[in-house]
Amino acid sequence: MTRLAPGDPAPDFSLPTDTGETLSLKELRGRKVVLYAYPAAMTPGCTKQACDFRDSLASLQASGYEVVGISPDKPAKLATFRERDALTFPLVSDADKAVLTAYGAFGEKQLYGKTVTGVIRSTFVIDEDGKIEKALYNVKATGHVAKLRRDLGLD
């Protein structure tokens, strides 16, 4: 499985969103992007992480960061997630997991002591030129956004 490292080009994507539109990484060039990969919308850990990003969005955006969530969920489920939890950033659907795989965020992982294949909870900070600034794998749902904010010098 490929893991991205700082300086690597961020794999481009063009994926359907929770609003039915398409979002391309190219559209975000010139801005810093926090792309976070999560296993499944509306599960407890993923909800906690999404709400933490929502609650930090204003300060992240004030520092020049756009936030995008990515999961294999279908756009309709992402729309329900957005509405249920008042999420205010785009959620993209990678149903075939090709983009998640390109980022090294899909593959074997440990879950309750078993090896399974699935989405590896990960966060990528992408610079204005489309290069990886940070690639964080196997992050925790709880407390991750606060740690990321500290790592980015926002707190």
Domain residue ranges in the chain = 28-152
What's the CATH superfamily of 28-152?
Glutaredoxin (3.40.30.10)
pLDDT recorded at residue 20: 93
Residue 111 has pLDDT above 80, yes or no: no
Mean pLDDT value of segment 48-53: 96
pTM, rounded to two decimals: 0.95
Distance, in Å, from the CA atom of 144 to the CA atom of 150, rounded to the nearest integer, reads 10
Element spanning 51, H or E: helix 44-62
| Residue written as token pair 């309750």 | 112
Tell me how far CA of residue 76 lies from CA of 40, 85, 133, in angstroms: 13, 14, 31
Mean pLDDT value of segment 52-70: 96
Distance, in Å, from the CA atom of 2 to the CA atom of 101, rounded to the nearest integer, reads 8
Does the annotation count 46 as an active-site position? yes
pLDDT recorded at residue 109: 87
Q: Which tokens belong to 11? A: 């794999």
Q: What is the pLDDT of residues 74-96, one digit of tens each?
A: 999 999 999 999 999 999 999 99
**Which of 46, 60, 68, 91 does the annotation list as catalytic?**
46
Q: Which residues of 44-70 are buried (b: 16+ CB within 10 A; e: fewer)?
A: eebbbbbebbbebbeebeeeebbbbbb
